[in-house]
Amino acid sequence: MKIDPASLDAKEVHELLMGCVTPRPIAFVSTIGENGVYNIAPFSCVTLMSMNPAIVGFAIGRRRGGVKKDTLINIEHSRDFVVNVVSESIAQAMNQAAGDYPIDVDEFKEAGLTPTASDLVQSPRVAESPIHLECRLMQVMEFGTSPRIHNFIVGEIILVHVQDDLLVEGVIKADRINAIGRLGEDFYCRTQDVFEMKRPLLPPVQKPPPAVHDSLRN
């Protein structure tokens, strides 16, 4: 079967692509609004974009009619945000926070989560999350035409908080996080069933000798 995404409506293309790119990590993004109200919402289109500088990016869709979601409005105001890792222990709270609440509703309270102050940004962190990335906004990119608009948020990670028992000799032990991943439809996955594969050891690539101009050969 061959499918042209441009031929599908918004819901159809969403379900198609979310089923193709799987499993996906979940960026549980916390922000603060101009009104001082805290917001927390999950996004599963997220990736690391650079290590030096440390940059993370995630996508935000629009509400019906192309209206901006609260997370985007807040980020454009405060110019910062926090990405919180979702462990299985807060999966239900994360799902509760996915509801479409009015902008004046504190979603931390709705989800039963605890906001805690960040060190370098205005946006709060989720106390129950094992890992937090404090981020400063770098760029907001926009794709599509109204009302089918998506924004891609690019932020520099300026501080990382890691639960003490997760970090061993500078390496975060994945089997201790109990993170969950997003699948298609309403399905999620656990990350406890893991296996290891070492990269193949190959000889270093030999650089070719520098080219010699013909006039120098004589």
79-94 tens-digit pLDDT: 999 999 999 999 999 9
Location of structure tokens 């692509």: 17
The predicted structure's pLDDT at residue 16: 93
List, in sequence order, every residue forming a beta bridge with 152; answer none if it has no partner: 59, 141
Average pLDDT over residues 37-65: 94
Nearest to 82 by CA among 163, 166, 165, 156: 156
Nearest CA among 110, 123, 135 for reference residue 78: 123
23-192 — its CATH code?
2.30.110.10
Tell me what percent of the residues of the chain surpass a pLDDT of 90. Answer: 76
Which DSSP letter does residue 151 get?
E
Higher pLDDT, 207 or 200: 200
Question: Which residue's entry shows tokens 């109990």?
Answer: 178
Nearest residue to 82 (alpha-carbon basis) of 111, 34, 41: 41
The predicted pLDDT at position 42 comes to: 97
**Can you give the length of the chain in residues?**
218
Q: Which residues contact 83 (CB under 8 A, 6 or more apart)?
A: 27, 28, 29, 46, 56, 58, 132, 133, 135, 155, 157
Domain boundaries, the chain: 23-192
pLDDT for res 209: 78
- Give 57's Cβ-side CA count (13 Å radius): 15
Q: Where are the beta strands (DSSP E) in the chain?
A: 27-32, 38-43, 46-51, 54-61, 80-85, 115-116, 125-126, 131-145, 148-162, 167-168, 171-172, 180-182, 188-190
User: How do residues 134-184 score in pLDDT, each as one tens digit?
Assistant: 999 999 999 988 888 999 999 999 999 999 999 999 999 988 999 999 999
**Per mean pLDDT, which range of 1-5, 55-59, 125-129 is the poorest?**
1-5
Q: 95 near 66, Cβ under 8 Å?
A: no
Mean of all residue pLDDT scores within the chain: 93
Burial class (CB in 10 A: 0-12, 13-18, 19+), 138: middle
Whether the per-residue pLDDT at 201 is higher than 70: the answer is yes
CA-nearest of 212, 51, 27 to 123 is 27
**Six-digit token string for 122:** 């205005």
> How confident is the model at residue 210, as a pLDDT?
78
pLDDT digit string (tens) for 4-32? 988 998 889 889 999 998 899 999 999 99
